Amino acid sequence: MSQFLEQKELFDGVLCLKEEEKRDPMLVLERFFSDYRLHEWRHSLWAMVETCLTTDNSEFSDPEERGNLLLQYRDLERMLEAGSLLLQQYNQGKSPREQEK
């Protein structure tokens, strides 16, 4: 079993962010999207999925596991789009709720 599933309490916490990033998580989005464009992430994500689905890998031998991977891909892609929009709105000085008005 995966260490991430065995130690849920530990891995549900924020482990990789620096203190400054914990105080202002928007810094992470700014750095992330300054290093990578959305189309580059779509390409990388699809390469990961394609590799997992086409390689002999016992983790993905079950069709249900492959289906889960595709669902996670979709959800991560949606999260990246949301992060990109949040950053654009933040940089324009408007919160998402202000955009609706």
Torsion over CA: 54, 56, 58, 62 (sign): positive
48-96 pLDDT per residue, tens: 888 888 888 777 778 888 888 888 889 899 999 999 999 988 888 865 5
40 — pLDDT class (breaks 50, 70, 90): very high
As a whole number of angstroms, the distance between CA 99 and CA 19 comes to: 29
As a whole number of angstroms, the distance between CA 94 and CA 82 comes to: 15
- Closest-CA residue to 21 (of 13, 12, 31): 31
Decide if pLDDT at 97 tops 60.
no
pTM over 0.85: no
- Residue 99: per-residue pLDDT: 54
pLDDT, mean over the chain: 86
Decide if pLDDT at 22 tops 60.
yes
Torsion over CA: 65, 71, 73, 76 (sign): negative
In the chain, where the domains are located: 22-100
As a whole number of angstroms, the distance between CA 42 and CA 40 comes to: 5
